[in-house]
Structure 1
Amino acid sequence: MRLAALVLLLPVALSGAVAPADPSWMWPVEGPRVVQRPFLAPPSPYGIGHRGVDLAAVADGAEVYAVTSGVVHFAGIVVDRPVITIRTGQILATVEPVTPLVAQGDVVLAGQVIGTLEPGHCSQPCVHLGVRVAGEYVSPLLYLGGLQRAVLLPLE
């Protein structure tokens, strides 16, 4: 039987079809864990896409937590939004719009309050979380858990 290069996402109900969370990562805001807008990889480095996930928050002004331990790589304004980026090895995790309570070079631990959520990114309170590994955007759900695993199925 020949396997195809066809990749399908199976329903979450299938046992083992959902990737578990990385124990060193945590959700950046409290409340129900709802993805308001999923990751959508761009077809090329400069193509359109959604280079992260929008995660529901309880309210604007909510505390935002470091998703992983590392060093604050950037804390400031990008265009018109407050942004915080944490580096851990080859991984950069960015949250926005978040007014920083940390500064570049600070060492942070997963779960530490790093800022407060500002309004304006979504129609309802949300935080945008983006993750880059060695410069390439990946779905943050690879680390937070819940990403459906790709499964190869036979052509016939």
Structure 2
Amino acid sequence: MNIADPLGVPAAPLETWQAMQTRLDDADLTGARLILITDRQGERSQAGYAALVLLGQGPQETAVISAPAFGPRYGAAGRAALAELVNWADGAGLPTAETILSGGDVQRVLAEPDADEVANLIAASNPADPAIYTTPAPPAEPEWTY
């Protein structure tokens, strides 16, 4: 497996999404898939994500990894970038999955990813419905005071 250095800038959603788009613009997406990596379980409204796009298969498989910069943790721009990434993947026919790691593991894997860690990350991923990343959260109900 070929593993590229992580693309983008941590906590910079627009720059990271642009770097991913540039890298994936002319890529052959046959059999590709998107795996979102987070350190939050059950807290999507506060989660931050890095992205892993797998291209190709077998010895020619390439892992394109982003810096952690997608999702609500990074504000409105992070939510928008996550929605754009997932919509892009869905429109291109890439299945979406999610992997949840501990905070330390996320930092270590993304700093210097190696083939064994990426393989474990892939094995730990679970299919995810793209709509959970692209549908805006309903507004919180107002607290009524009496």
Tell whether the structures are fold-level matches, with TM greater than 0.5: no
Could you state the TM-score of these two structures normalised by the residue count of structure 1?
A: 0.26
> Hey, which of these two has a bigger chunk of helix by percent?
2
> Hey, which of these two has a bigger chunk of strand by percent?
1
Could you state the TM-score of these two structures normalised by the residue count of structure 2?
A: 0.27
